[in-house]
Structure 1
Amino acid sequence: MSEKAVPENAVPENPARASPADRRAWWGLVAISLGVSLVVVDFTIVNVVMPPIIDDLELSAFGAQWIQESYAIVLAALLLVMGRLSDILGARRLFMVGTVVFGLASVAAAVSPTGELLIAGRIAQGVGGAIVMPTSLALLNLTFRGPDRGKAFAVWGSTIGAAAAVGPLLGGRLADYSWRWAFGINIAVVVLILVGVMRFLRPSLRRPGRIDAGGAVASVLGLGLLAFALIEGRNYGWWEPRKDFGPFGDGTGLSVVPVSLIVAVVCLALFLFLQVRRTRGNGTAPLMDTSLFAIKSFSTGNLATLVIALAEFGMLAVLPLWLQYALGYSPLRTGLLVFVVAVGSFFASGASFGMAERIGPLGLVRIGLALEAAGLPVFGLLADRDSQWWVIAIALFLYGMGVGFATARITDVVLADVPPWQAGQGSGIQSAARQLGSALGIAVLTSTFFTALASDLSHRLVRLGTPGATADQLSSAVSDSAGAMISGLGNDPRTASAADAARDAMSHAVRISGWTCAALLVLGMLATFLVPRPGQGTRQRGGRQPAEAASNAAIDAGRLHT
């Protein structure tokens, strides 16, 4: 069955008359969740298998960095374009295309004989992931209505938090065999997803149209360069160059990062200008319908999404480093401990089903943020190189429960009043807000973490009698290695005291990271109070909106079916 085209002024379904989802839809949700899991797991699984990749392919630090970051940059850059394509081509069809692209890219990454080809495979994975994320949300928005819709979004959101925690566990286990399995295992999951989608999800409606080419180029360049700058700021220098990048470096006295930020701002300003014109005009449909931001629940909900994403995944970027290099955990043991986040997330997801009708999605988001803010200060208060695993587990369980409530339900809040015929665009915008928030959060947290590590270690080494210049050089080396040097320092009796100082400094950096994340979550909590209650977030009609009379007539005639 192929996706059915519908007129510009038609809506696919009247939400008020939607019937409860059948069993097939819930099995389809499993397939959608597996697709989202693939995308999220490949963010975190690489962190654990990177050491054997470096050894096997003889990579430089630069190449290793790009294997990790190229995926995130491409994913962030393409989200809005893929959200619009979802409306034009049909969410179900495009979701399957994205899944196939991701699977083929995973195979290419798994068999890569060189670092350059592995980076190319990761870029292709980013393209597939950028297709899967917004189309998965669009499918949920079109498939589920009423109370079932909230439950579906809860499962979707919990999948993100759980998959982020599963990545290190899976990577730690597969590292015992070969790093190539970290990518090759994806193909089996891809087959399951395709079978589930074809069997259990009905073809979705599509609205023929064209892509705004100018807006697409400005969006891709703007978001891509912004993500690049946020991720690579610490690597290349926020202003003065730490490394050369093309013409930028010691010769110019300027890092590539501020230039990227300036160009990104210009491109995004141009993109916004074009989208406002497209929304008000009668020509090519906009890539991002700016009239959606007249829906208060959508605009304020996306603001809250961005702020919440700043804190939620930043901590997971630095925690495995502390567990392995300061506490001496193996990759597998690290993965098992981080997996507690997934346990808490699924526990909260199940509990939210019974609480949703009494408290509402927005109330559940606030409960989740409170739980996250309760778990993170445990690190701020108790992180030490002798920390007990059960203390860490309690903090991560609280944190995971918070993710299960907050991340699961914020999407439901954002898309609550978005019309079904704009589900693809709305989902793409919400995914972009989440991804950019995550990139910014990782940049802020890793910069804070490594800056605190280097500064505190230098002070500790000076107190041990190390000359100032030597202390600064050694602390910078430990920071640049992300802590990997600590084990080597500990193996040499002459530098054992420096290794202990480095472990203490890394614990100090984790404490600062815990408080930083908690503060960001408080900001996220404050942002949720800008979001209106359900039913109060509907926009005033205007701009390029479908004619309401034609929509109602189509519904009454019973001509539109998914």
Structure 2
Amino acid sequence: MTGSTTAETAAAAPSSPRTRWWGLVAISLGVALIIVDSTIVNVAIPSIIEDLGITSSDAQWVQETYTLVFAALLLVAGRTGDRLGRRRVFLAGTTVFVLASLAAATAASGPALIAARLLQGVGGAMILPTSLSLINANFRGADRARAFAVWGSTIGGTAALGPLLGGWLTSHLSWRWAFGINLPLGALVAAGVFLLVEESRDPRAERGVDLLGAALSVIGFTGIVFALIEGRTYGWWHLQRPFSVLGAQLDGDPSPVPVALAVGLLALAAFAAVELRRNHRGRTALLDLRLFTIPSFRNGNVVAGVVSLGEFGILFSLPLWFQNVLGYTAFEAGLALLPLAVGSFTASGLSAVLAPRIGTVNLVMAGITCEIIGVAGIGLVLSPDGSGWQVGPFLLVYGIGVGWATAQITGVALTDVPVARSGQGAGIQSTTRQVGSALGIALLGTVLFTALGADLSRALQDHGTPPARAEALTARVRTSAGTAIQPLLHEPATRQAGELARESFTTATSLAAYTAAGALTLGLGAAVRLKRKLALQA
């Protein structure tokens, strides 16, 4: 299947190659902004709680609102870009994101900050899928593969840079600069994309709007992502802590998690039925099911989802280990993760040379293999008396894998998607990645804290701590996500419990790393099947 009609290709491609590559820089910087914003806030939360006087529940929503809205709107934003113009939607998203960042930087209360984070999620959802579709529309052949490599390494590298940047800004300036830095950078992105990237859209997409499909998809993805992210916090069935939002509070069973999951699954089932009917009748549909008849797109999305599950889950557990077990500051934890970013950006440059020589899917497989080696190696070398230097080489190998696998699988999935439908294809792939990442965080978070609780309770009782006291100390460490460990170490009466907690947290983090390696192994198997199917197609 070819990428587009001749007219569409001519309309989309800039006249100057230099202009096209500088436009890619602007697009990649926009992607960097929204990816960094998903991790930069984590290290600033303690300062935000102290400055605004918000509750732990409010702090949770400051972190998660962005992710929820971001994931829920990706599919709608991608299709909107096809209809109204990808550059136009990208620029609108950048404007929303910058204004929301200004609101977050000047927020005087928890609710105001949460509302600003919600708007940031709206802007981010408009940027990510349209960035992919703009690359798909403006690059061809080998240049497209190189452009996707830059896009993919931007995601992998900046995800690791977020804690470093957030830690430095919070420590040396203020948590407000974690949001304020988006203003000048966002203006630079908007100017660059406006001047250097030409518009493209689907000329056949003006026949109607699938409002019902859009509503059902947003409800469905919101419910599912909420359940995956918050299951550990609020309980998968029984409510483990009070749930409050917009002034309403839930104190009894069941937890909101199974309710949200059920609503999300039902909404997505209804969404699938609506889209099947609209596709069958030839009406405008949010989800063009013809895309799934393209083998590279269908199988590439399977690989992307499974790999995302293993890739970004480790970024949840490892910063906690650096800070709570080794006692690193937020900035030092960010520095310890820097090899990941170095590896990812280095791999981006190498992929431009390697992909034409060994093949794109082979490079994806090599990248996933590096990720497996890196993550499994991290699990092997973790020690409560270790250091970031021991983990660094494996983070570097892992980062190289991210730079190859994440970038190249994007190119594989979208290479045969018609340019006219590239926004929709990009929205589907971005949604697949987000749901995979949310599932990975949920899975590894559950493994981490379940193993921590079981190991620490047993260790405390083995050292003579009464069962009731052991359970109380275990709950203190587990519910604080490990932040109680350092205070325990500094009190003579609880120093032994703190040392045991360090050992148990290390054991649990290693187990989470091995779980991530297992998920990535499944992704490698999916990539092998993708290679076979593409070979049969050829």
Q: TM-score, normalised by structure 1?
A: 0.91
Deviations 1:439-476 (A, max 9, x none): 11111111111111111111111122111121112111
Deviation, structure 1 residue 531: 1.8
Q: In structure 1, the residue corresponding to 2:132 is in which secondary structure?
A: helix
Deviations 1:407-465 (A, max 9, x none): 01110010011011100100000000001101111111111111111111111111221
Deviation, structure 1 residue 20: 9.6
2:214 is matched by which residue type in structure 1? A
1:215 is matched by which residue type in structure 2? G
Tell me the distance in 2 between the aligned counterparts of 1:210 and 1:103. Answer: 30
- Closer/same/farther in 2, CA of residues 74 and 482 from structure 1, 3 Å limit: same
The correspondence for 1:102, drawn from 97, 103, 119, is 97
Query: Following superposition of structure 1 onto structure 2, how do residues 120-519 of structure 1 map, counting pairs within 5 Å?
Result: 120-176=115-171, 177-207=173-203, 208-245=206-243, 251=252, 253-283=253-283, 285-519=284-518
Deviations 1:289-329 (A, max 9, x none): 01110111111110111000001100001111100110111
27-36 vs 468-477, which deviates more?
468-477
Consecutive unaligned residues in structure 2, runs of 5 or more? none
Contact 2:378 2:395 in 1 (8 A): no
The correspondence for 2:38, drawn from 13, 19, 43, is 43
Tell me the distance in 2 between the aligned counterparts of 1:210 and 1:91. Answer: 18
Deviation, structure 1 residue 113: 0.5
Tell me the distance in 1 between the aligned counterparts of 2:386 and 2:242. Answer: 39
Deviations 1:77-124 (A, max 9, x none): 001100110100110111000001000000100100001110001100
Deviations 1:382-413 (A, max 9, x none): 21111132211001101100000000111001
1:191 is matched by which residue type in structure 2? A
Deviation, structure 1 residue 491: 1.3
- Closer/same/farther in 2, CA of residues 241 and 193 from structure 1, 3 Å limit: same
Deviation, structure 1 residue 521: 0.4
Contact 2:13 2:198 in 1 (8 A): no
Deviation, structure 1 residue 180: 0.2
1:395 is matched by which residue type in structure 2? F
2:178 is matched by which residue type in structure 1? A
The correspondence for 1:75, drawn from 70, 76, 80, is 70
290-299 vs 145-154, which deviates more?
290-299
Q: In structure 2, the residue corresponding to 1:257 is in which secondary structure?
A: helix
Taking only the aligned residue pairs, the percentage that are identical comes to 48
1:205 is matched by which residue type in structure 2? R
Deviation, structure 1 residue 537: 9.0
User: What residue number does 1:556 align with?
Assistant: none
Q: In structure 2, the residue corresponding to 1:417 is in which secondary structure?
A: coil
Tell me the distance in 1 between the aligned counterparts of 2:271 and 2:125. Answer: 19
Give yes or no for the alignment of 1:111 onto 2:109. no
Deviation, structure 1 residue 529: 2.2
383-392 vs 84-93, which deviates more?
383-392
1:183 is matched by which residue type in structure 2? F
477-486 vs 123-132, which deviates more?
477-486
450-459 vs 514-523, which deviates more?
450-459
Contact 2:9 2:137 in 1 (8 A): no
1:292 is matched by which residue type in structure 2? L
- Closer/same/farther in 2, CA of residues 505 and 169 from structure 1, 3 Å limit: same
Q: In structure 2, the residue corresponding to 1:203 is in which secondary structure?
A: coil
Contact 1:248 1:256 in 2 (8 A): no
Deviation, structure 1 residue 535: 7.1
User: What residue number does 1:550 align with?
Assistant: none
Deviations 1:3-50 (A, max 9, x none): xxxxxx9664459x9899700000000000001001100111111111
Deviation, structure 1 residue 330: 1.4
- Closer/same/farther in 2, CA of residues 301 and 21 from structure 1, 3 Å limit: farther
- Closer/same/farther in 2, CA of residues 259 and 440 from structure 1, 3 Å limit: same
1:192 is matched by which residue type in structure 2? L
Q: In structure 2, the residue corresponding to 1:530 is in which secondary structure?
A: helix
Deviation, structure 1 residue 530: 2.7
Contact 1:48 1:172 in 2 (8 A): yes
Contact 2:223 2:263 in 1 (8 A): yes
Tell me the distance in 1 between the aligned counterparts of 2:281 and 2:499. Answer: 65
Deviations 1:223-279 (A, max 9, x none): 00100000000111101121344799664x321111111111110011011111111
Tell me the distance in 1 between the aligned counterparts of 2:118 and 2:449. Answer: 27
Q: In structure 2, the residue corresponding to 1:466 is in which secondary structure?
A: coil
Tell me the distance in 2 between the aligned counterparts of 1:123 and 1:333. Answer: 29
Tell me the distance in 2 between the aligned counterparts of 1:210 and 1:312. Answer: 38
Contact 1:84 1:211 in 2 (8 A): no
Q: In structure 2, the residue corresponding to 1:278 is in which secondary structure?
A: helix
Contact 2:57 2:243 in 1 (8 A): no
Tell me the distance in 2 between the aligned counterparts of 1:503 and 1:538. Answer: 52
User: What residue number does 1:5 align with?
Assistant: none
Q: Pairwise CA RMSD of aligned residues?
A: 2.0
Deviation, structure 1 residue 198: 1.5
Tell me the distance in 2 between the aligned counterparts of 1:270 and 1:239. Answer: 24
Q: TM-score, normalised by structure 2?
A: 0.95
Deviations 1:133-161 (A, max 9, x none): 00000100000001000000000000000
The correspondence for 2:22, drawn from 17, 27, 30, is 27
Consecutive unaligned residues in structure 1, runs of 5 or more? 1-8, 540-562
Deviation, structure 1 residue 538: 8.0
Tell me the distance in 2 between the aligned counterparts of 1:152 and 1:482. Answer: 38
Deviation, structure 1 residue 218: 0.4
Tell me the distance in 2 between the aligned counterparts of 1:205 and 1:536. Answer: 32
- Closer/same/farther in 2, CA of residues 526 and 99 from structure 1, 3 Å limit: same
Tell me the distance in 1 between the aligned counterparts of 2:533 and 2:195. Answer: 33
1:275 is matched by which residue type in structure 2? E
Contact 1:490 1:500 in 2 (8 A): yes
Tell me the distance in 1 between the aligned counterparts of 2:14 and 2:123. Answer: 32
Contact 1:243 1:249 in 2 (8 A): no
User: What residue number does 1:61 align with?
Assistant: 56
- Closer/same/farther in 2, CA of residues 504 and 260 from structure 1, 3 Å limit: same
320-329 vs 203-212, which deviates more?
203-212
Contact 2:295 2:534 in 1 (8 A): no
Tell me the distance in 2 between the aligned counterparts of 1:209 and 1:538. Answer: 33
